Chain A
Amino acid sequence: MISCADAVQRLWSYLEDELTATDRQAVDDHLAFCRRCCGEAEFAAELRHLLASAGEVSPPLPDDVESRLLAVLDTFETFDDAETADSADQPGGNEEVQRDS
């Protein structure tokens, strides 16, 4: 039988359903006779619920932030266009350099 410390250590993984079958059974066996750890488990479950509830509330995305985020991508498009134009001009540019030399 695992100790209270071991049971408490595993409670969150137990609640997240991430324990092996053996470890889960060990926690179940402990909770079956330990009233205090049942309280710990109930408290951990409620705390987990509180955290998950907080995760469902997101700060709003301001319109100006969204605009700025997407505007950065436009600079790439502009850059791409310039790059394309540069590469199209490249042979002529090289010729000019060769002529100058």
Chain B
Amino acid sequence: MPDTTEFKEVVRPHLPWLFGLACRLAGDDAEDVLQDALVKAYRHYDQLRDRQATAAWLRQILVNQVRDRHRHAARHAEEVPVDQDDESTSLYRRLVDEDPLPYSDSLHLDFLSCFTIPDVWAVLDDLPDHYRTPLVLVHMYGVPTREAANALGVPLGTLLSQLHRGRQRFEDALWAYAEKHELLADRQGAL
């Protein structure tokens, strides 16, 4: 087994962002998932050859843990959600068609400016895991699509499809959230 003190020194600086990522991917299970990931990292510490790659290595292990947990949950779910490939209207087109901010000169950009960072997370947190996880990894943490596909154990085409549908679901959810929380009404008053 590796030296515990040395291992702690290596991982400690990464704990804040690892915990953040774990919260985004695993919600209330974040601490458990991260703990499992750290134990696994400790056991396989000898596989880390390049210290410069520590962050990517730890991220890969954490994502593996999240993926295993999601798979386990899916096996025990009564119903596995499967989306059909649809051609839903894009949020941009809906904004142009419905014109919710009639006095805006830059409607689509003003719409997005209604959302705070906590709003964005609230919308994301309501998405199913198989959509939220790719979105978080690729669009929020900047993981390249090939690396994300590898980390999630899916073919690149599957990941790209999940990203595409996930963005559609995210856009739909943004609109619903704005209506529910009357973000547009507040914005109309400001314009």
Q: Do A and B bind each other?
A: yes
* Contact A55/B167 with A46-B109, A70-B8, A72-B35 known, Cβ cut-off 8 Å: no
Q: Shortest CB–CB separation between residue A13 and chain B, in angstroms?
A: 7
Residue of A18, A44, A50 ringed by the most chain B CB atoms within 10 A: A50
Mark interface residues in B77-116 (1 if CB within 8 Å of A CB, else 0).
0000000000100111101100000000000110010010
CB-CB under 8 A from B136, the residues of chain A are 55
Query: Among residues 1 to 55 in chain A, which have CB atoms less than 8 Å away from a CB atom of chain B?
Result: 5, 8-9, 12-13, 16, 18, 36, 39-40, 42-44, 46-48, 50-55
Chain A stretch 66-89: residues in CB contact (< 8 A) with chain B = 66, 68-70, 72-74, 76-77, 80
Number of chain B residues close to chain A: CB under 8 A? 47
Q: Which residues of A contact B (CB under 8 A)?
A: 5, 8-9, 12-13, 16, 18, 36, 39-40, 42-44, 46-48, 50-55, 57-61, 65-66, 68-70, 72-74, 76-77, 80
The answer to whether B140 and A47 have CB atoms under 8 Å apart is no
> In the assembled complex, how far is the CB of residue B176 from the closest CB belonging to chain A, in whole angstroms?
16
Contact B7 A51, beta carbon cutoff 8 Å: no
Q: Which residues of B contact A61 (CB under 8 A)?
A: 15-16, 19-20
Pairwise interchain contact A43-B91, C-beta atoms closer than 8 A: yes
